[in-house]
């Protein structure tokens, strides 16, 4: 039996569209944006078996992909997810809704757009809800589209997981192919470019969906992520920030400190590079889930590698939260001078392998929202830099 693998949301969307017949395969064809990346160990096993079995995050087998040829064969349809009943294949759509004008939708429809669509007669609103495509979250786009359909004389909604590949030319070509597959010769009506969310005129019901999906920064789920060398002061700054937030009572806050997490969420992990990165990803995933529900999480791991920090950013983005990255950029010399736990001395003596800053690198973030050096500064003084950054971004207004 081929090894199982759960790919990224974008790859799952691509595979679903290939299985449905909306897009041609194979994956990884030269010049194609439809790709599947396998970890080295999985790719080795797939090459030996001649295939890999694609499963969803819950382990449901969805497709079999020959390897390395990339031919896709469907095994089952995705079973879960909001509005799954609206996910139809092109064949199912043409059979049920032939003769309608197809209108691709990637954002909430304004009152002007609804009026424009009403003049078209019976319509099919094709909501493109793939990873990274809609301006709203997929669920919000479908809710808004269903509300728009109620205000139209004869409209139905179908969901299509057309993902973005961060390549405008390729994404346009894929979009055209998918919409044509669903239209099947019926007319297609492209809406003019929508106005910005700030100036859009929505019906009251649709406006409520947009407001809920795109909350103002001060009420949005937020992850404040401190990164820096051991001894840089990041944990002390994180604790001081939490105290300030709790003292003012503006929001509830959850601490995901590295040492605390290791004793609970990540008990059993070693200090190997792989396990340390797993620990950080676990912190990021939990923090993202807190942000999904409008909460605020404060994290303070070393997080030395950019790729892992970008994974965390992706978790938070996917959850609809915001990530505020604080680089506590205290120089190595100062961190080593402090060395309250004696870790640098042990690392210099070779007693701690792969120690960040000594025998393992720290990749400074280029995307930090605030950079703080605590050398020769009080915690209160350094914390003011963080608080000012949060205030400027509109997330928190702390005294």
The SS3 assignment for 242 reads helix
Distance (Å, whole) CA 241 – CA 312: 21
What are the Cα distances from residue 155, in Å, to 99, 126, 139, 243, 267? 12, 10, 18, 53, 53
Length of the chain as a residue count: 399
Cα(29)–Cα(72) distance, integer angstroms: 12
The answer to whether the beta carbons of residues 326 and 372 sit under 8 Å apart is yes
**Residue 49: alpha-carbon gap to chain centroid:** 32
The pTM of this model reads: 0.84
Query: pLDDT-based confidence at 266, cuts 50/70/90?
Result: confident
Give the model's pLDDT for residue 199: 61
Q: Which domains does the chain possess?
A: 4-74 (no CATH), 84-213 (no CATH), 222-393 (3.40.50.300)
Q: Give Dmax (Cα) for the chain.
A: 78
d(Cα 135, Cα 90) in Å, to the nearest integer?
23
Q: Does the pLDDT at position 276 exceed 70?
A: yes
State residue 341's pLDDT score. Answer: 85
- Distance of alpha carbon 126 from its chain centroid, rounded? 23
Which residues are within 8 A (CB) of 156 and not within 5 positions of it... i.e. 6 or more apart? 97, 100, 123, 124, 125, 149
Taking the C-alpha atoms of residue 161 and residue 364, their distance in angstroms, rounded to an integer, is 36
* Residue spans of beta strands (DSSP E) within 59-203: 61-66, 72-74, 101-105, 123-128, 155-160
Confidence (pLDDT) at 264: 79
Q: What is the mean pLDDT of the chain?
A: 94
Give the mean model confidence (pLDDT) for residues 50-56. 97
Distance CA 354, CA 377 (A): 29
Burial of 354 per CB tally in 10 Å (0-12, 13-18, 19+): middle
Q: How confident is the model at residue 196 (pLDDT cuts 50, 70, 90)?
A: low
Q: What is the pLDDT of residues 213-258, one digit of tens each?
A: 999 999 999 999 999 999 999 999 999 999 999 999 878 899 998 6
Angle between helices 306-318 and 273-292 (to 10 degrees): 20
CA angle 201, 202, 206 (to 5 degrees): 160
Q: Which of 103, 123, 122, 131 is nearest to 194 (CA)?
A: 103
When pLDDT is averaged across residues 57-84 and rounded to a whole number, the result is 94
E runs forming strands in the chain: 4-5, 51-55, 61-66, 72-74, 101-105, 123-128, 155-160, 222-228, 254-256, 296-299, 322-328, 370-372
Task: Output the six-digit token pair for 171.
Answer: 């994404």
Instruction: Give the per-residue pLDDT at 270.
Output: 78
- What burial class does residue 284 get, using C-beta atoms within 10 Å of its C-beta: 0-12 exposed, 13-18 middle, 19+ buried? buried
pLDDT band at 79 (very low <50, low <70, confident <90, very high): confident
pLDDT of residue 91: 98
What integer pLDDT is reported at residue 340 of this predicted model?
81
């Amino acid at each position: 039996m081929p090894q199982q693998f759960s790919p990224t949301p974008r790859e799952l969307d691509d595979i679903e569209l290939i299985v449905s017949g909306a897009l041609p395969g194979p994956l990884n064809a030269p010049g194609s944006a439809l790709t599947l990346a396998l970890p080295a160990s999985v790719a080795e096993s797939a090459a030996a078996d001649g295939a890999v079995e694609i499963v969803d995050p819950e382990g449901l087998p969805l497709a079999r992909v020959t390897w390395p040829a990339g031919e896709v064969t469907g095994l089952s349809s995705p079973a879960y997810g909001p509005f799954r009943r609206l996910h139809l294949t092109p064949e199912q759509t043409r059979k049920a809704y032939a003769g309608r004008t197809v209108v691709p939708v990637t954002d909430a429809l304004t009152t002007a757009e609804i009026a424009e669509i009403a003049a078209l007669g019976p319509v099919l609103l094709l909501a493109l809800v793939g990873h990274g495509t809609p301006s709203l979250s997929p669920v919000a786009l479908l809710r808004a589209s269903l509300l728009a359909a109620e205000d139209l004389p004869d409209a139905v909604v179908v969901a299509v997981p057309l993902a973005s590949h961060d390549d405008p030319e390729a994404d346009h070509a894929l979009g055209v192919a998918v919409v044509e597959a669903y239209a099947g010769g019926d007319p297609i009506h492209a809406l003019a470019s929508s106005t910005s969310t700030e100036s859009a005129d929505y019906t009251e019901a649709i406006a409520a969906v947009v407001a809920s999906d795109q909350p103002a920064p001060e009420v949005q789920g937020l992850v404040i992520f401190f990164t820096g060398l051991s001894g840089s002061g990041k944990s002390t700054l994180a604790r001081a920030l939490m105290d300030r937030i709790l003292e003012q009572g503006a929001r509830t806050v959850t601490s995901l400190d590295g040492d605390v997490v290791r004793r609970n969420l990540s008990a059993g992990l070693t200090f190997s590079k792989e396990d340390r990165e797993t620990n950080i990803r676990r912190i990021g995933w939990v923090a993202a889930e807190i942000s999904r529900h409008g909460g605020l999480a404060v994290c303070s791991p070393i997080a030395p590698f950019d790729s892992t920090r970008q994974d965390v950013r992706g978790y938070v983005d996917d959850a609809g939260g915001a990530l505020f990255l604080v680089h506590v950029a205290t120089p190595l010399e100062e961190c080593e001078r402090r060395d309250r736990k004696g870790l640098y001395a042990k690392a210099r003596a070779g007693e701690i392998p792969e120690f960040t800053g000594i025998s393992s690198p720290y990749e400074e973030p280029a995307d930090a929202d605030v950079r703080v050096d605590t050398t020769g500064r009080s915690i209160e003084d350094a914390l003011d830099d963080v608080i000012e950054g949060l205030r400027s971004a509109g997330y928190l207004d702390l005294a």
